[in-house]
Structure 1
């Protein structure tokens, strides 16, 4: 039976434990030994075994690596069999900036305000006036939004990022490109609309160098994130990938330019998600993601997983 993705209770529990682990001294001290034992188990377990087990748990059906058909199956096949060294550089939120600059130009880069490999450098004196966001370059843990430096507990922030610097995202996701990233802390200008709200993530899922569909996430930092899928003409696609429908969004005035940027950045890969933002008609690059949700996010409609899977051609890579 195809798994219903609306498992909010499980997600909230994982989020709660993660917050205790990262932000609480007592929680970190208690949970850290268990995490290290868990990580040791992951280190000695073959990737294929972990991926197959996780796939069945999240998706509700067995992963077919010999003849992958759905989009999620093909994403997991790529995780195991299409490992280009450059992907380690491009998954690095700091080093990817040079790739973007060389491919499409630095005008699409969000201004970088700070970078360091030492959490002790994370002090208000080393950072500009808000607004900005602090994040690690080597994982997908989100970030610390700073709108007022006087309201930040900087010792707590240092402790949080020290813990992040000691984590290897590869062992929790089996996404190999994270394994050898050199951890560091970066701060970027916070992109906002005029009312101070955070702009929508506009994610271009590119198959074989071309935009296959566009995903828009709404209220990323809110209680209920919603999501729409659009085709390249900005027609709503009747598919839900992991989240319910969001509000209707007007077609961006410079959608053609956004598609051109996404396809230029994606041209060397069978599958990659190119995240862009649009603020005051200015396009900004977010990140490159090679395995959306690690290939473990169910569609509400199984036929959509199959439909998009048919569109992604990995035959040349299987030879």
Structure 2
């Protein structure tokens, strides 16, 4: 487990160098473009199988997937619908959420643009906010005081992010055709100013099966607890150590109800919410948790949860087509 965390730390450091250092970006970018051009001609299945073996340590069985991570990768390759691009887009998904459950669950949108040059103090509020892109998983930039931000550096960062396309490295099809956009949202905080925990409801065939809670997401000691539907802490670690055991949120039943509304018709969908002073806020929708490359510390958890995810209907449909 320690070696996995070290590898993850190394990958994060390299990514940070590429994303946040101008020198690192200029040095790495030409090699990355060559790497990306090579990736484009390699079949999806080859890329996915290779990445799975590297991250998980065993061969991906696409003919008879059993573990949760195997089934997530199977879905990544064989379950492609236009709506997937819509819901993966962190800007356009807002209209989908409004239609499905109501705009009252959206985090207030403060500004949006497709031009990084627009990210200037004059266009942004004096309140706390977060800046992120709609097609990337970098987490964004938290701004509590805009007078303390290096705005030229920030604009350079987002100019780079707008050029990225994560499809080629992960083969998550839904990201391939998202039109890059910059989104500025109100920063949600607890009463003490801390960032609220992130509740990730994993829905299988339209029903919530378990909940992941990411604690201290913007700190070095980031943790993750997994809870069953009755809010019992599960003896499973999905890539991160456990944090403190949490009380069930007062709006837990509402989260379940909303998640299942959003997950209707999906084989697998992760629905993220925040809970602030008892109010539920929508975070994002994810079709493939960690791209299906996040190892459980206990392999039996991967197997047990995999049994709960039924992909047979789509498999049978594909066989007949």
| TM-score under structure 2 length normalisation | 0.97
Residue 85 of structure 1 and its aligned partner are, at CA, apart by 0.9
Aligned-partner Cα distance in 2 for 1:172–1:273? 21
| 8 Å CA contact 1:5, 1:300 repeated in 2 | no
- Which residue in the other structure is 1:69 paired with? 66
Q: Which ranges in structure 1 are unaligned for 5 or more consecutive residues?
A: none
Q: Which one of 287, 312, 315 corresponds to residue 312 of structure 2?
A: 315
Taking structure 1 as reference, are residues 6 and 191 closer, same or farther at Cα in structure 2, changes over 3 Å only? farther
Root mean square deviation, CA, Å: 1.0
| 8 Å CA contact 2:251, 2:275 repeated in 1 | no
Residue 138 of structure 1 and its aligned partner are, at CA, apart by 0.6
1:248 equivalent to 2:212? Answer: no
1:33 equivalent to 2:30? Answer: yes
Residue 5 of structure 1 and its aligned partner are, at CA, apart by 7.1
Residue 274 of structure 1 and its aligned partner are, at CA, apart by 0.3
1:201 equivalent to 2:198? Answer: yes
Aligned-partner Cα distance in 1 for 2:230–2:19? 42
Secondary structure of 1:7's aligned partner: helix
Aligned-partner Cα distance in 2 for 1:236–1:176? 33
Aligned-partner Cα distance in 1 for 2:23–2:79? 41
Q: Which one of 260, 277, 280 corresponds to residue 280 of structure 1?
A: 277
Taking structure 1 as reference, are residues 5 and 268 closer, same or farther at Cα in structure 2, changes over 3 Å only? farther
Secondary structure of 2:234's aligned partner: coil
| 8 Å CA contact 1:5, 1:297 repeated in 2 | no
Aligned-partner Cα distance in 2 for 1:176–1:168? 11
Residue 268 of structure 1 and its aligned partner are, at CA, apart by 1.6
Secondary structure of 1:64's aligned partner: coil
Alignment of 1:115-134 (within 5 A): 115-134=112-131
Q: Which one of 47, 52, 55 corresponds to residue 52 of structure 2?
A: 55
1:168 equivalent to 2:200? Answer: no
Residue 25 of structure 1 and its aligned partner are, at CA, apart by 1.9
Alignment of 1:252-271 (within 5 A): 252-271=249-268
Aligned-partner Cα distance in 2 for 1:10–1:214? 26
